[in-house]
Amino acid sequence: MSMWERRLGVWGTILRSTAGIAIVLLVTAVARMGLVVNATTVGFAFLIVVLGLATAWGLHEAVAASLVAVLCFNFFFLPPLGRFTIADPENWVALCAFLATALVASHLSNRAKMQAVEARERQQETERLYSFSRSILLTDTAQPVGQQAARFIAQAFDCPAVALYDAAEGEVYRGGAGDLPTIDDRLKQVALDGVRSSDASRLLMVLPITLGGRPIGSVAMLGLSCSDGAMEALVNLVAIALERARSAEIASKAEAARQSEEFKSTLLDAIAHEFKTPLTSIKAASTSILSEPDRVAPDVREFTEIIDEETDRLTLLVNEAVRMSQIEAGKVLVEKQAQHVPSFLAHVLSTFQSRLEGRAATVEAADDLPAVLFDPDLIALAVRQLIDNALKYSPPESPLRLTAAVVDGAMEIRVIDQGKGIPEKEREKVFQVYYRRNTSKGTVPGTGLGLHIAREILKAHGGSLHIEGASGAGAEFCLRLPLEGVRI
Ligand code: ATP
Ligand code: MG
């Protein structure tokens, strides 16, 4: 309630009390004129007036009237008449009973009235909250939700001015016909502290908007008259609306990103398809020439062999590019087969033959290792990323080791080089998409995708990929594949 309302209320009570007293005096006058002679009847008449006043106006008015009624009753109707004394003790009892009845009945009727007023107010608040929540549910995604919420609050709660601060956007939105021109700093402060503030008359309220205890904004409302509970509910609804809009935005961005990845992967599929036809023709031609070695001169055969090998490499690269883009788009399709790890590693290493010259590259594994179920194409792709890195990031003559062993119920494959290695603090970062160490940028070609894709492949197999080894020594990548109990 505002100061004006309170001041008006005090004058109203005084005026109504005076009117109440006047009614009591009127009843007294009528009775004295001889229309009513019996004191009991007069007493009941006073009681009815007091009850009527309590029901119509309130407790204060009824108390004022009942006190005057007691005085009149005593003075005019209880012997000795015309004096404020009472001769008969029985009349004392009657007077006290009258006063007590008047006060208790006034109090009860006033309480019932207050409860009715409160119930009406609650109902009105509930209706306003309902209309606000309905508007909030129907927000237009094309406009900022904060702006719409400020407008809806002003409409539903008849607020002359509303200002809403959305911390995530850093914007203040306004609603209502009036304005709160100097409120911005206060809104930001309340959003920061998470503590409500109001002016002395509670005419302007500034409340924090919190979600899970975390302030996400604040709202200032001028001339809002509602209970603390309703205000709390209102602010919670605004918080939910802001958060809902934020999650919807994130979801639509993620969906857009997913669609773009899918589009990329489809495009790559199409390009790969286009590549495959000429590659198959070249391969067919080179195979046919090489199948009859006597038909061509030795130098032509040598060139044909190069063409044949490079066609194989190109085909492998095209297939890999397609698989990698599929993994990027979250479409990893794992087709597991039982594999003998040492021979599998030897085969993968052999595909690097031309780049291994002058380097000792070995596969170290016991021959009786159990077979493991995995997708040979995908795991070969992952291991190839690690071998490719080892060849790129360690000196050309330094050795490269591939090891395989069963450790803690999983097949552990390690790719170990003797380059500069990767410092501890970057051992997780290098698995992020497009992350490349500063030392590699500009000196070694690459996109920063290899390790990310390799880890995704291992994850799709229920395994893991991480970096081990002492810091300062060469890189040691450890792939772990779960053993699924197949033996060849
Ligand atoms: P891409 O593999 O996509 O062609 P890339 O090799 O740069 O490019 P990743 O394989 O993801 O990308 O490697 C990320 C970064 O981690 C590399 O840029 C490099 O700085 C570092 N790195 C990876 N392997 C090694 C290694 N064996 N030794 C030293 N640094 C490495
Ligand atoms: Mg790489």
Tens digit of pLDDT for each residue in 188-197?
999 998 888 8
Distance, in Å, from the CA atom of 244 to the CA atom of 211, rounded to the nearest integer, reads 11
Any ligand 1 atom below 6 A from CB of 448: yes
Token pair of 415 as six digits: 């790719």
Q: Ligand 1: distance of its center to the CA of 434 in Å?
A: 10
Residue whose CB lies within 8 A of the most ligand 1 atoms, among 325, 393, 427, for a mutation test: 393
Q: What is the pTM of this model?
A: 0.49
Q: What is the pLDDT of residues 132-186, one digit of tens each?
A: 888 888 888 788 889 999 999 999 988 899 999 999 888 999 998 888 888 999 9
DSSP state of 373: E
Spatial contact of 402 and 417, defined as CB atoms under 8 Å apart: no
Any ligand 1 atom below 6 A from CB of 475: yes
Closest residue CA from atom 6 of ligand 1 = 446
Average pLDDT over residues 42-63: 85
Average pLDDT over residues 339-353: 93
Any ligand 1 atom below 6 A from CB of 469: no
Three-state DSSP class for 139?
coil
Closest residue CA from atom 10 of ligand 1 = 450
Give the ligand with the smallest distance to the CA of 421: 1
Distances (CA, A) of 275 to 271, 315, 351: 6, 8, 20
Q: What is the pLDDT of residues 435-444, one digit of tens each?
A: 999 888 888 8
Q: Ligand 1: distance of its center to the CA of 388 in Å?
A: 9
- Which pLDDT score is estimated for 2? 45
Q: Ligand 1: distance of its center to the CA of 383 in Å?
A: 13
Q: Which of 162-176, 261-275, 441-455 ranks highest by mean pLDDT? A: 162-176
Q: Please return the burial class of 348, using the count of CB atoms within 10 Å of its CB with bins 0-12, 13-18 and 19+.
A: buried
Mean pLDDT taken over the chain? 86
- Is the pLDDT at 477 greater than 90? The verdict is yes
3-state DSSP percent of the chain in helix, strand and coil, to 5: 60, 15, 25
- Is the pLDDT at 466 greater than 90? The verdict is yes
- Is the pLDDT at 3 greater than 50? The verdict is no
Closest residue CA from atom 5 of ligand 1 = 448
Q: Ligand 2: distance of its center to the CA of 452 in Å?
A: 9
What's CA 210's distance to the chain center, in Å? Answer: 12
- Which pLDDT score is estimated for 6? 53
Spatial contact of 394 and 388, defined as CB atoms under 8 Å apart: no
- Which pLDDT score is estimated for 8? 61
Residue whose CB lies within 8 A of the most ligand 1 atoms, among 317, 328, 389, for a mutation test: 389
Relative to the CA of 419, which ligand 1 atom is closest?
A: 28
Q: Please return the burial class of 264, using the count of CB atoms within 10 Å of its CB with bins 0-12, 13-18 and 19+.
A: middle
Distance, in Å, from the CA atom of 417 to the CA atom of 402, rounded to the nearest integer, reads 9
Average pLDDT over residues 247-265: 79
Q: Ligand 1: distance of its center to the CA of 440 in Å?
A: 8
169 CB-near residues (< 8 Å, 6+ apart): 144, 146
